[in-house]
A and B are shown apart, each in its own frame.
Chain A
Amino acid sequence: AQKVTQAQTEISVVEKEDVTLDCVYETRDTTYYLFWYKQPPSGELVFLIRRNSFDEQNEISGRYSWNFQKSTSSFNFTITASQVVDSAVYFCALRGAGGTSYGKLTFGQGTILTVHP
């Protein structure tokens, strides 16, 4: 079975602080895909990034960066110089590539990030 754990239920920071959201996953698939989504107060989930299991290259997109470490089954997300608009719930998700896990996303519990001015 697949499992995604986001140990931080809530994080509160002051604007311009850096913040890291942790994500640890479990899967028996040798090929899999990891995603991060942002859920603003409006409710819609917004896709941020995907990572294939065979590509451990880290990625930076503006103030966002992602650290994928297969050895520790982690896919952490860092926001540099946080802004109030970053306040949202962030979900890490895992999609297996075979068998009964095909096409299905397994989500973590989500981390509520609040950035104070």
Chain B
Amino acid sequence: DGGITQSPKYLFRKEGQNVTLSCEQNLNHDAMYWYRQDPGQGLRLIYYSQIVNDFQKGDIAEGYSVSREKKESFPLTVTSAQKNPTAFYLCASSTNGQRVRNQPQHFGDGTRLSIL
């Protein structure tokens, strides 16, 4: 079945460590997104990519980095510069282009990141 796979489901980070969250989709979507969810808050956009080898900062990009070398994959690295990384991270994808702006984003199951 088509969908979005995020791994791992749970991740623990030590002080000063970089960690990478995986996101893979087989929906043939051009656009991919990373969101952060904190308790009592909505989802906030970290980075998004509308096409391979291109990505833009979202609203809270500081302390994070991404790459988009393949259409199917959009990994997110939480760097040591992110001082408050404990959160639930959701990856999403959607079709792209003028005609499909009303298409919904499809989400993965999320990765819960905690500090050791």
Contacts and interface: CB of A to CB of B under 8 A. Distances in A.
A104 B101 contact: no
Contact of B42 (A91, A95, A97): A91
Nearest to A4: B42
B101 A97 contact: yes
Interface string B54-98: 000010000000000000000000000000000010101010100
Interface residues of B, number: 28
Contacts, number: 59
A33 interface: yes
Interface residues of A, number: 25
Nearest to B104: A47
A45 interface: yes
B96 A47 contact: no
Interface of A: 4, 6, 9, 33, 35, 37, 42-47, 50, 52, 91, 95, 97, 102-105, 107-110
